[in-house]
A = this chain, B = another copy of it.
Amino acid sequence: MKTGIVGASGYSGEVLLSLLLDHPHISLTTVTSRSLVGQSVESVFPSLRNRGKGLVFSASDPEELATNTDLDLVFLALPHGVASEYAIPLCKAGKKVIDLSADFRLSSPEIYEEYYGHPHPYPEWLEKSAYVIPEIAPSGWKDKQLIAAPGCYPTSILVPLLPLFKESVIGTKGIIINSMSGVSGAGKKLAEDFLYCERNESAKAYGLVKHRHLSEIEEQLSLSAGTEVVVQFTPHLSPMNRGIVTTIVVPHAANSIEQVYNTWKLAYEDKPFVSVLESGTTPDSKWVCQTNRVDFSAVYDPRTENLIITFAEDNQMTGAAGQDIQIMNLWNGFDETAGLV
């Protein structure tokens, strides 16, 4: 299987490259970046030295890529709005596409426009694509040609909540979600706010009250609940490179803790990258960093009648590159854990 990455200049691109270079079932033939043309992968990412297999960044014209016979599957690591300009020609040329951007995450072009500020460029392709978190992907997703990989926060919210919604174990109203993320979640952005001295020894909330990821979170929650779900989502920055910790408070959850665990057990028992911790054990982002695993657990608070779910993932693995590899593995019939730990 010949694969390529379009736009691999950022933090997720680097992790994706690293995973693909060592993947047992594919060969990485093409790496493109408008700003890095002609530079070797090893010189751009010194962490990959001695492992870059001579790969050099090339230019990234969509039509040219579409006719590239050395490409069966392409990862798009491009900004929102740009990704779709590559995705469509590649799909039309018969190639499989895993898109890391938000361009095909939503089924509603209206909500896309509301959250991303411009009309969706290819609304007719929204139903030809699937939004895939591997553990909770819709049946039939493997028949699509275009897979939208989720944002980093949504996985930490959808994995614990979706099975509970599907089985009506918890109510859908009044859910409050707080997340803490490492700084790499913002990407390699040259902004004063992301300088070392600004983020080090600092914590803060941001993205109130309508972070872009909220759109995909609510769409997926609503789909699984069969009713419109509205949640309060507040992300925070924490001074660390990687990791997301999410705390979800579900009100009016009296007596549901056992059902919660039973539902999770049924949904995730055989999933290699899911680890449901016993009630009372709170996950630590450190435990999952550098892995594609997620850890989560729940406690019930009889005083407030709330269920509190806490969740940890590596935002660069489960929240980005690791999950992308997992999608590729499942899509192509490889072992789900191939190339991942």
Contacts and interface: CB of A to CB of B under 8 A. Distances in A.
Contacts of A183: 196-197, 200
Interface residues of A, number: 76
A6 interface: no
Interface string A244-269: 01010101000000000000000000
Contacts of A196: 183, 194-196, 198-200, 239, 241
A200 B291 CA distance: 17
Given A283-B204, A295-B46, A238 B241 contact: no
A199 B183 CA distance: 12
A32 interface: no
Interface in A40-66: 46-47, 49-51
A124 interface: no
A197 B241 contact: yes
Given A47-B291, A239-B238, A251-B174, A282 B197 contact: no
24 contacts: A47-B286, A49-B293, A50-B272, A50-B275, A50-B293, A174-B251, A176-B249, A183-B196, A183-B197, A188-B195, A190-B192, A190-B195, A200-B200, A201-B241, A201-B285, A202-B243, A204-B284, A204-B285, A204-B312, A208-B280, A209-B301, A232-B249, A232-B304, A239-B240
